[in-house]
Amino acid sequence: TIVNGGGFVSVVPSNASAMVDIRLMPSTSVDDILKKIEDIMENIINERNEFYRKISLNSTSSTRLSASITIKNQLPAATIDSNHPLVLSCVNAVKKILNIIPTTNGCGPANEGYMLIGSGIPTICGFGPIGGNVHGVDEWISIPSMAQTVDIYVDIVSNYCQLFG
């Protein structure tokens, strides 16, 4: 998120802008998110403009606050049927190696998965070693989980290839 406005600490800016990165999951509607944002903006604008109207000596003054939304990039989330053989191979491998049952709910569009799936190539996204501070300062991964992830990938490929071999 980036918020810009004004040039000095002691001066109220005449305009401001905000850039927000929202990465939607497969079950989330772009229209629903936009509607929520527009409703919030409309409430704030109406509240502020009513305040300005009340304090203004000139009751015919024009709207003091306005806002607009520009969508710079809209990518679909990545999803694959939870009964697809690749997903089942992955779930079985994770159960075998980590002794847990992973969730299979899709992932946001911050990867190439949606392009592969859109081209008919089955794809699983968002799976990897345990870590933290992803894409940030001091990003890290657990070395033991890296070895487990390799074991899981080997098991996935082996099981998936046996289905079609």
Q: Residue 11 has what pLDDT?
A: 87
């049952």: which residue's tokens? 101
**How far apart (Å, rounded) are the C-alpha atoms in residues 80 and 160?**
15
User: Looking at residue 115, what is its pLDDT?
Assistant: 84
Backbone dihedral region for residue 125 (phi beyond 0: left; psi -120 to 50: alpha; all else: beta): beta
Length of the chain counted residue by residue: 165
Task: Tell me, rounded to whole angstroms, the distance of Cα 79 from its chain centroid.
Answer: 13
- So what's the pLDDT on residue 161? 85
Helices (H), 11-142: 30-55, 85-98, 113-118
Write down the pLDDT at residue 58: 60
- Beta-carbon contacts of residue 138 (< 8 Å; ≥ 6 apart): none
Rounded to whole angstroms, how far apart are CA atoms 54 and 18?
27
Q: Give how far the C-alpha of residue 110 lies from the chain's centroid of Cα atoms, to the nearest Å.
A: 7
- What domains does the chain contain, in order, with CATH numbers? 2-55 (no CATH), 85-164 (1.10.150.900)
Residue-level pLDDT, tens digit, the chain, 165 residues: 899 998 888 988 888 899 988 888 888 888 999 999 999 999 998 888 888 777 776 655 555 788 889 888 888 888 888 899 989 999 999 999 999 998 887 777 777 888 888 898 888 887 789 999 987 899 999 999 999 999 999 999 998 888 776
